[in-house]
Chain A
Amino acid sequence: MIRSITQQKPEEEIDRLLDGLGRVFIIGCGTCVTLTHTGGEPEVKAMKKKLIEKGKLVTGDVILPVACDNLTKEALNEYGEQIDQSDVLLIMTCAFGVQTIASQLKKMVVPALDTLFIGKETAFGEFNEICTQCGTCILGETGGICPVTSCHKGLVNGPCGGTNNGKCEIDNEKDCVWTLIYNRLKELGRLDAMRKLQKPRNHQGEPTPGKWKSVSLRSSDGQKA
């Protein structure tokens, strides 16, 4: 299952964002941030303790089951009073959760986490980005491994000169994805796919802002698809 992968913001940044805001309501989430140990119950508890030590008044806290879900509004209704009493919501979910909550409550929100990427747990405690949603999928020519996502430079024509012993120039803990693609295509007897000169990418493949209407729904509206 794909997950939203997050890490906690530096303490100084959270302090700055909460500066002058004495009453805080904390929101965590039972899904992705619980898996990554960045916004589950233990992290919310630790945050609460830390804020109290810093002289904040924590008016309440909650772990929503799925913060990005539309049912979040109902889940928060229960905490109406504690939320009303707060100056700010400190949200320990990914940015999807933060935006869902912000759209439903008339309160300033402060994210306690940075959302790094959408990915999956590939080994215990290890998370990998799988797709950057570029809108111009080339997996059919790379043996099903994505260089747009997994090459530091998003190169589509093979490795750069920085690749070293199968690792990336920026971090020898990270695989050079072009070595992985090469190995896969070689195994499949399809190195010809790697030899194909790829044209410059269409960087407008991913709509910005990302809004899209289903073609089938549009045509059922009687509009031109």
Chain B
Amino acid sequence: MVSSFKKALESGKFVVTSEVAPPKGTNLEKMGHHIELLKDKVDAMNVTDHQSSVMRFPSLGGAIMVKEMGGEPILQMTCRDRNRLALEADLLFASSRGINNVLCLTGDSVIFGDHKEAKGVFDLDSSQLLGTIRKLEKGKDLGGNDLDGNVSFCAGAIVTPEANPLEPQLIKFEKKIEAGAEFIQTQAVYDLDNFKEFMEYAKQFPVKILAGIILLTSAPMARFMNKNVAGVNVPQELIDEMDAAPKGRKLDKGIEIAGRMIKRVRDEKMCHGVHIMAIGKEEVVPDIMAAAGLDI
């Protein structure tokens, strides 16, 4: 069955995705609230997979919850915690529960998380996980054995358009597409002129690209990302703009900036849509969309 997200990607409309983060524990109330708030407003929502290597309620469980609540989930899967048997099995299970969108990620190192002595698995990498999905769709597992029953996925991956050096990242991007990526959600982009340059290159490939938009909540948060998050460069003028916003109005300013950026991406038809990451402030995603002038 073709997922509604895939239909949206193929429709030519400006696609909007967002994300929800499963909780540390079994209290699903907040995640449920975010799903309820977003499910009819965005085309799909990513469910993060032990983000930053912090152990949480599983992305698969979160994706099932999105589905049960009538939303469209994108299951994030990293290669950090599961070997190929476990990844294949989870893909079969996801398919059986109507979860047909998967974002394939290598995964952060375990040393960033809250189980620092755990074994990082990385039996597969992100491009090999994409290849695994395509193989399962052909009715075979990675061992070459026949599968009973079909699966069909809309599979995607990520790229960091501002990585330094850039070319190794672009080679990997092309390998991901060769392995079967249909859509790409980018790492956060802030300098849209740089992003346009990236898109000049990327548009030659048969892949839908959603520009990553991370909500700025304060100037120190922007500086922190510049210092600590690979491939994220918040330009000084945006940091100054956050700084200049009156106390208590920083979040409003961040929403305004995110909205402005999304509007420009859309107006200038830079790419196929946006992926909005509000990191802990998912409840303001509709405000960002309103600021961008998107129909919600």
- Which residues of A are in contact with B by a Cβ distance under 8 Å? 152-166, 169-170, 178-179, 182, 186, 191, 194-195, 197-201, 203
The reply to whether B108 and A162 form a contact with Cβ atoms under 8 Å apart is: yes
Contact partner of A178 (CB less than 8 A), chosen from B105, B132, B168, is B168
Q: Does B192 contact A (CB under 8 A)?
A: no
In the bound complex, how far is the Cα of B175 from the Cα of A155, in angstroms?
13
In the bound complex, how far is the Cα of B174 from the Cα of A191, in angstroms?
13
**A156-B125, A161-B230, A195-B171 known, 6 other contacts, Cβ within 8 Å:** A153-B120, A157-B172, A161-B163, A162-B109, A166-B165, A200-B128
In the bound complex, how far is the Cα of B165 from the Cα of A113, in angstroms?
39
Pairs A–B under 8 Å by Cβ, sample size 9: A152-B120, A161-B106, A163-B163, A163-B169, A164-B163, A178-B168, A195-B175, A197-B131, A197-B179
Chain B stretch 154-170: residues in CB contact (< 8 A) with chain A? 158, 160, 163-165, 167-169
Closest-by-CB residue of B relative to A201 is: B123
Chain B residues, CB < 8 A from A154: 122
Closest Cβ of chain A: how far from B153's Cβ, in Å?
Answer: 18
Closest Cβ of chain A: how far from B125's Cβ, in Å?
Answer: 5
The reply to whether B171 and A191 form a contact with Cβ atoms under 8 Å apart is: yes
- Using an 8 Å CB-CB cutoff, how does the interface string of B174-191 with A read, 1 for contact, 0 for none? 110011000000010000
Chain A residues, CB < 8 A from B160: 161
The reply to whether B175 and A169 form a contact with Cβ atoms under 8 Å apart is: no
Closest-by-CB residue of B relative to A167 is: B230
Chain B stretch 113-141: residues in CB contact (< 8 A) with chain A? 120, 122-128, 131-132
The reply to whether A197 and B175 form a contact with Cβ atoms under 8 Å apart is: yes
In the A-B complex, list the 5 residue pairs whose CB atoms are closest, starting with the nearest.
A158-B172, A164-B230, A182-B168, A153-B122, A160-B106
In the bound complex, how far is the Cα of B288 from the Cα of A199, in angstroms?
41
Count of interface residues, chain B, beta-carbon cutoff 8 Å: 37
Closest-by-CB residue of B relative to A155 is: B125
In the bound complex, how far is the Cα of B163 from the Cα of A195, in angstroms?
18
The reply to whether A182 and B167 form a contact with Cβ atoms under 8 Å apart is: yes
- Using an 8 Å CB-CB cutoff, how does the interface string of B66-99 with A read, 1 for contact, 0 for none? 0000000000000010001000000000000000
The reply to whether B165 and A179 form a contact with Cβ atoms under 8 Å apart is: yes
In the bound complex, how far is the Cα of B175 from the Cα of A198, in angstroms?
9
The reply to whether A155 and B108 form a contact with Cβ atoms under 8 Å apart is: no
Contact partner of A197 (CB less than 8 A), chosen from B122, B127, B168, is B127
The reply to whether A182 and B165 form a contact with Cβ atoms under 8 Å apart is: yes
The reply to whether B122 and A200 form a contact with Cβ atoms under 8 Å apart is: no
Closest-by-CB residue of A relative to B230 is: A164
Chain A residues, CB < 8 A from B172: 157-159
Contact partner of A163 (CB less than 8 A), chosen from B122, B131, B230, is B230
In the bound complex, how far is the Cα of B111 from the Cα of A143, in angstroms?
29
Q: Does B62 contact A (CB under 8 A)?
A: no
The reply to whether A164 and B123 form a contact with Cβ atoms under 8 Å apart is: no
Contact partner of B122 (CB less than 8 A), chosen from A155, A179, A186, A195, is A155
Contact partner of B175 (CB less than 8 A), chosen from A157, A160, A170, A179, is A157
Chain B residues, CB < 8 A from A157: 125-128, 172, 175
Closest Cβ of chain A: how far from B180's Cβ, in Å?
Answer: 10
Contact partner of A195 (CB less than 8 A), chosen from B105, B169, B174, is B174
